[in-house]
Structure 1
Amino acid sequence: MAYTLHIVPHTHWDREWYQPFQRFRLRLVHLMDGLLALLAQEPTDLAFTLDGQVILLEDYLAVRPEQEEEIRTQVKAGRLLIGPWYVLPDEFLVGPEALLRNLERGARLARAFGGGMPVGYIPDPFGHIGQMPQILRGFGLRWAALRRGLDDEPAELWWEAPDGSRVLLSYLRDGYDNAARLPTEPRAFVRRLAELRDSLAPHARSSHLLLLNGTDHQEPQPELPLLIAAVQEEIPDRVLLSTLPRYFQEMEEALGDAGLAELPVVRGELRSPKRHHLLPGVLSTRIWIKQRNHALETLLTRWAEPFAAWAELLDPGGPQPVILTGNIPLPRLRHPAPLLNEAWRLLLQNHPHDSICGCSVDQVHREMVPRFDQAEQIAEEITRQSLLTVAGQIEMGDDGQRMPIVVFNPLGGPRTDAVTVAIPLVGHSRHFRVMDAQGQAVPYQVGSAVEPHPLLDMQAERQELIGAMAFVQKGRIMGLPIREVQVRREGEQATITIALLEEGLPDLEAVERGLAQVRALLADESVVQYQVIGYLAPVQEITFVARDLPGYGYATYFLVPSEEGTDEESPGLRHPPEGEEGRAIENELLRVEVEPEDGTLTVVDKRTGQVYAGLHRFVDGGDRGDSYTFCPPQEDTVVDRPAEPPEVRVLEVGPARWTLEVRQRYLLPDALE
């Protein structure tokens, strides 16, 4: 059989790996400069695939912005193939929404240059999730190509997701670099093509074979067009410079409907390491990266975005307030979607498999931290603004005597959980009860406190004070909620003391009472000097259990003053079991005790009587492998006990939460021998 050999020039681009990003970008600029010059020469069949990820264009154009139009020209001409991804991610260490945002951003950026490659190209991730065909079809991609996760399947097959979605899959059995660095001497070139054909042909269902001319950070081979033309007569097969879309199109035509229907089907996750390593050790390498990423994805998808949408619906218009200082919290920024997209962009840049897998040089992972930090700063601030906006639309019946607390549940179902809230201690007694919306008392416990923080102490004359009052808008001054206003007169001088919050809701009745007193002073010409004192109110943390919060909903609780001297600050307070104080805690379901010698935990299920001993044991063993693979030493010293008895203490005891702290000291080998 005569075959068609599709030689596809490409590069596989690890944006950061064994060198940090900026060093690899220097290589990228060199590659792109040469590639664009090559493509601009006399027209040939040469086209180049830019690894399926559009971020390479962002990185290049940040250095060579004048090349944007030339890139657009080559993309529209089909000679530079970009996308569909923004970055090539690890599929198991990022959330499903992150994969969608990745493809969505890649598609949007590719459209700006003329369109993305219609192939779900995922050559190097360490295995593949079962839903990937469904995700690709959702973006209009019906072809996919990958290297890892299969064993002896043929080169062409169907990949099916649990919902029945299918993509036509090209299995890169011999890797994404099987035709890398092809020899330039004609006879050697012919021999190499024959070797590649003979390796793939037994596993192909069609007469079309895929030869990927590229590897990690490889630049294009400019001699390929002339080399192919020179040897075509000596080769029994059809050899052409091609692209992935052209390969799929011709392969489909060659198979026809009957041939396509007979292709085997693989379903679900692709996790076989038979032909290509999956490197599963990276699932736990530098675990802090995985934890930080998960926390940020949760912050964006469960808090920042949904509550920003609700805030925009509830408060769509009106002028933005004027901010006169950077020292106060910012009111809600309208139309925050671009900022949320920026947070996603920063987070996605940490999702390439060499980044999030934690298998790169140390500098790479140090440079991931500021991306995480910046994404978190955006998401946290937009969440804060949005929650305050939503809470401000809730009818809470604040009568000045009770303070409302709004607790939100970002999950899809009901939730019961401990809530810690900072309570400003102004306008309220320091003795209070927590009540739910039905008027039932809710047990709580007291935590740490923050003392008052002075903000302002100034002397003002009458006209200055009149001008300053204009800054009081809707119970806020310069954006800060006013919780209390106290006015005191001594002869010709009056003192106005204002208690402010960093965030939260103002006490509108207290503000109006205070302003009325100030207006009365201003009308009294015998008062000639005013002292204005502003401070952040003292804060007390309390913790209580919010029960059965509705999914995607909220519940309102209230602080209600109680008589001084009553023991209402900690109703239901418990004490450690007698004789074991300091090393055991329990509730109605479980009892947890720390073993005094080795610090392990014994947990008793009080419903069944089942005892679970020896839990929470720390074990340290040696590892002479690398960031990809664990390899135990030939002779290991395993440390599974602390060097001395642990220090144990109960940090919190109360109706909402008990917290037990165990401090242990271990002696570990300093290094491998």
Structure 2
Amino acid sequence: MKFYYFNSTHWDREWYQPFQEFRKYLVDTARVLLEIFERDPDYRRFTFDGQTIVLEDICEIRPDWRPKLEALIRAGKLNVGPWYVMPDEFLVSGEALIRNLLTGKKVAEEFGHAPWPVGYVCDIFGHIAQLPQILAGFRLKGSVAWRGTEDKGREHLLWWEAPDGTRLPHINLGKWCGYSEFTFDVRGNHSAEPLDEQAFKTRLREYVERDRNRWNGSFILSDGFDHACPSPDTSKMLRWIQEAYPDAGVIHTDYTELFDHEFGCAERPVIRGEQIQPACHADHNGWQISATLSSRYDVKQGNDLCQNELELLLDPAFAAFAAAGKTEQLPMLNYQWKHLLQNHAHDSICGCSIDRVHRQILSRFEEVRDIGRTLVKEIQTTDRAALLKPGVADPNRAAADGCYTLRLYNPLPFELDEIREVELVFPADTAYPKRQAEPFGYEFFNSFRLYDEQGGEIVYQLKSIRRNQTCSFHRQDARSCDLYMVAFRTRLRAAGWTTVQLRPSEDVVRSFATLAVGPTSADNGLLRLDINPDGTFDLTDRRSGRAYRRLNDYRIDREIGDGWNHVRPVGNRRIAAASRAQTALVCDGPERIQFEITRQYEVPQELEFAGTIHESYAGIRESRESATLEIVTTVTLDRNSERVGMHTVVHNNVRDYRLQLLLPTGIAGGGFAEQAFACLERPDGRTHGTLSEPWPEPEMVEKNFAGIIGKRDAAGGIAFLSRAGLHEAGFLEDENRSIAVTLLRAFRRTVQTDGETDGQLPGDREFDYALDLFPAERTFAELVRAEQKLRVDLPSYLIASELVESRPDQSFFTLSGELVYSALKPAEDGKPGSAVLRLCNPTACPVSGELGFAAPPRRIALCRLDETEIEEVSGLNLTFHPGEIRTLRLEWE
């Protein structure tokens, strides 16, 4: 018999109290820990919850403690990392998870030692399929989890296999109290009160007898609790355990010995892929808690927008700078990433904290976006400086002849050929040389034409004009400008700049062409759009003849849950149809048509928690007062596009409800969902069906997805692509085989409060997404590229052509084939002339791809995810195994 005793504290940086209050307790905890190490030479080790951010938070208050902490870390007595913060795995990107581990590694090394080599995810609400491969990429010995992991005969020592076949030793913590099981069941409390020896030994024997079968002679005694101080009685407890079981081995562990000693046999059970098992038996308290996917949409949206900018724009742009030897801005970029990661702690990003915490989170997102704006200006300024003729003092001055050069930057490694809206910034203090208006001059505006790099005219649609707007160019340089929003087909080279020429027009610029084929119908050559009187619409794929009917429908359930759970009250009344609908044509031209659909629902304004005349609780009912919930969706159809863009605004004046978008597909047999570095197949309905009905925690139909969810069959299919904030959806078993996407949950319950208001998400809530109708031969990599196009913003600027010296533009990097592009970033070591490229194959079949460079690297090396090199690579044609993630270091002269 062996006892592996593990002691730690689970530290949520912010949760039922804000960060600064918790930090006071963190500093107190560190003080207690240092005192224990000083007075007890037998105190072998302590683990700080798999995170390194705690070190920064402590030392910012007590910098004098840093030498003591460093000494303990170097001595192997204090384990920190491998994470910077313990994240949620479903609500942050795969790249964010890798950046989290890279940052955790860096901070641990700054404190004098490598990070703790254990993939500790003790309290995360379910786990992605690729986590074993990610942890192995950082050379971690194994993983330790509690929630969501599959029961294999209630075994606790398992192998966990990723889609690529990577197997990692895995420990399922006790299902009742997980990382606190020993704390509650044996130690008997989570305070520093003195222990009674006899009571301790009695509880220990009861624990051993109860759990003898599931631990098979190797007991894990996990002693930790949320925000708990370390026990001063650790050495005493270890002695009592040995006395109670004299023949047993008693090991004060950090799990590394357990991985080394208990996994020599490959016959242990294997769990595979994502782990989202709800609590399924009476002694299972480790609830998976899936509804955090849809809590606090504003937080999810804020995070995704920051990730989009960092991963798809800033990282690749500054990787190109680094390849050219320009690394002066990398510290700012790294700081931006680190600041974002602070919001990825699972109780932060999951939306299950108090309102003050989420307000602080939203403020951090704003700071991340502030940094992003300055770095985007750096990208524009660098390009403009390379174009300007010598001696130009004012690069933002008006063009005397009205000829401008429009520069557009595409950071993605593939060409963009699609309709985009671009804002043209004209100086307002200088009249444009050519103006036009309809007869008799009702509204004058600049008359110009656009031309591509080959001199061909680009047809554009003028969507809006905002006159005399203040625009900031550089620091104190702010000017009055007229902003013209135009839509046109952008044909942009991969990973580089493209030039469009803007010239005054002698003639009126006008087009009578339209995509409309009726008052509420349009046809773009591939798709036909027909809007129904009730505000739903039908899409017909002209290639296959398949029609998807009654899209843009919604259903509304009442909500009495909180940040963790969606709960409908007894007698829930679901609203399934709008009371009024209206359609308006808001953009009509040769390249793009847009309809604005307004749907109104008459809804009881809130739930009331009623009492009786005896001041007793009587139950929950809908209020007598009603409100009109208005949902306005702009549907965009572009010429020759197989996607329909959608922008939805929910004017949210209703409380206590869940709003879902329904997408009838007519395709039976389950569907697919994107997850970090993976494409997962899921059935219609619940995975466990009626078997899960008696479980303590109900299995939800809606489950996690990263940004793509859809259905397909031999004739093709339909995919929902999200730009930001939407991560919960499921496949219904209704006759229409609908996809249900949760847009928002409005709730008032927050942890350890009497109710708060921010979780109701009052005001206007905006959603951007697209519906992609694809043919049978479409690959998942192509869907990911479509999603990345939706997510990325394209920097642009206008400059007087007379100031510009023309030069050829090139694509820094291109990727062709079926590999999925994940990251192009500056190397972690920050060396000039180097960058890191990450690609993956999220599918179950081998795929290939080819790399291209304007200036080929002199050296390419295969790396682990932690960017340590494995071997050199020759050639630019790559083939990936199913599920494989591969990282390449690129070096130039």
- The TM-score with structure 2 as length reference comes to 0.59
Does the 8 Å CA contact 1:310/1:390 hold for their aligned counterparts? no
Within 2, Cα distance between the matches of 1:76 and 1:437? Answer: 59
Partner residue, 2:500: 557
SS of match in other structure, 2:55: helix
Does the 8 Å CA contact 2:6/2:255 hold for their aligned counterparts? no
SS of match in other structure, 2:554: coil
Assess, with a 3 A threshold, how the Cα gap between structure 1 residues 575 and 108 changes in structure 2: closer, same or farther.
Answer: closer
The letter for the 2-side match of 1:555 is: T
CA positional deviation for 1:306: 1.4
Within-5 A mapping of 1:638-653: 638-643=574-579, 645-653=580-588
Does the 8 Å CA contact 1:178/1:196 hold for their aligned counterparts? no
Asked if 1:382 is matched to 2:375, the reply is yes
CA positional deviation for 1:442: 1.2
Partner residue, 1:24: 22
Asked if 1:73 is matched to 2:71, the reply is yes
The letter for the 2-side match of 1:187 is: Q
Within 2, Cα distance between the matches of 1:159 and 1:604? Answer: 43
Does the 8 Å CA contact 1:45/1:241 hold for their aligned counterparts? no
SS of match in other structure, 1:29: helix
The letter for the 2-side match of 1:636 is: N
CA positional deviation for 1:32: 1.5
Within 1, Cα distance between the matches of 2:475 and 2:72? Answer: 53
CA positional deviation for 1:110: 0.8
Unaligned stretches of 5+ residues in structure 2: 189-194, 390-398, 435-445, 608-620, 622-893
SS of match in other structure, 2:150: coil
CA positional deviation for 1:423: 4.1
The letter for the 1-side match of 2:311 is: T
Asked if 1:436 is matched to 2:436, the reply is no
CA positional deviation for 1:361: 2.0
Within-5 A mapping of 1:23-172: 23-115=21-113, 116-148=115-147, 149-152=149-152, 154-172=155-173
Match 1:368 to one of 356, 361, 371: 361
Match 2:524 to one of 566, 587, 597: 587
Partner residue, 1:540: 484
Asked if 1:192 is matched to 2:185, the reply is no
The letter for the 2-side match of 1:661 is: E
CA positional deviation for 1:243: 2.4
- Percent identity between the two aligned chains: 33
CA positional deviation for 1:577: 4.3
Does the 8 Å CA contact 1:228/1:239 hold for their aligned counterparts? no
Does the 8 Å CA contact 1:311/1:387 hold for their aligned counterparts? no
Deviation string 1:264-317 (CA, Å, 9 cap, x unpaired) is: 33332222224432112111222232222122111001111211233455584x
Partner residue, 1:320: none
Asked if 1:176 is matched to 2:179, the reply is yes
Within-5 A mapping of 1:265-284: 265-273=270-278, 274=280, 275=284, 276-284=286-294
Deviation string 1:183-209 (CA, Å, 9 cap, x unpaired) is: 42212212222233334442346x532
- The TM-score with structure 1 as length reference comes to 0.77
Does the 8 Å CA contact 1:53/1:83 hold for their aligned counterparts? yes
Does the 8 Å CA contact 1:315/1:389 hold for their aligned counterparts? no
Does the 8 Å CA contact 1:600/1:614 hold for their aligned counterparts? yes
The letter for the 2-side match of 1:556 is: T
Match 2:589 to one of 629, 632, 654: 654
SS of match in other structure, 2:328: coil
As a proportion of its length, which structure holds more strand? 2
Deviation string 1:643-669 (CA, Å, 9 cap, x unpaired) is: 4x3343222222332222223332211
The letter for the 2-side match of 1:126 is: F
Asked if 1:622 is matched to 2:558, the reply is yes
Match 1:636 to one of 569, 572, 584: 572
Partner residue, 1:328: none
Deviation string 1:84-136 (CA, Å, 9 cap, x unpaired) is: 11011111111111011100111111112222211111111112112212211
Assess, with a 3 A threshold, how the Cα gap between structure 1 residues 557 and 660 changes in structure 2: closer, same or farther.
Answer: same
Asked if 1:238 is matched to 2:248, the reply is yes
Partner residue, 1:422: 424
The letter for the 2-side match of 1:128 is: H
CA positional deviation for 1:230: 4.8
Match 2:222 to one of 209, 212, 235: 212
Within 1, Cα distance between the matches of 2:268 and 2:557? Answer: 47
- The Cα RMSD (Å) is 2.9
Assess, with a 3 A threshold, how the Cα gap between structure 1 residues 649 and 169 changes in structure 2: closer, same or farther.
Answer: same
Assess, with a 3 A threshold, how the Cα gap between structure 1 residues 23 and 441 changes in structure 2: closer, same or farther.
Answer: same
Deviation string 1:416-456 (CA, Å, 9 cap, x unpaired) is: 2222131426665332211111121111011322435699x
Deviation string 1:14-44 (CA, Å, 9 cap, x unpaired) is: 2222222222222222212211111111411
Within 2, Cα distance between the matches of 1:366 and 1:479? Answer: 30
Q: Structure 1 residues 401-410 or 623-632, which shifts more?
A: 401-410
Deviation string 1:472-491 (CA, Å, 9 cap, x unpaired) is: xxxx99996xxxxxxxxxxx
Within 1, Cα distance between the matches of 2:117 and 2:469? Answer: 59
The letter for the 2-side match of 1:155 is: H
Does the 8 Å CA contact 1:452/1:536 hold for their aligned counterparts? yes
Say which one has the larger Rg: 1
The letter for the 1-side match of 2:514 is: R
Unaligned stretches of 5+ residues in structure 1: 317-333, 456-475, 481-501, 503-534
Partner residue, 2:632: none
Deviation string 1:384-436 (CA, Å, 9 cap, x unpaired) is: 3213423554699x997742222232323332222213142666533221111
SS of match in other structure, 1:599: coil
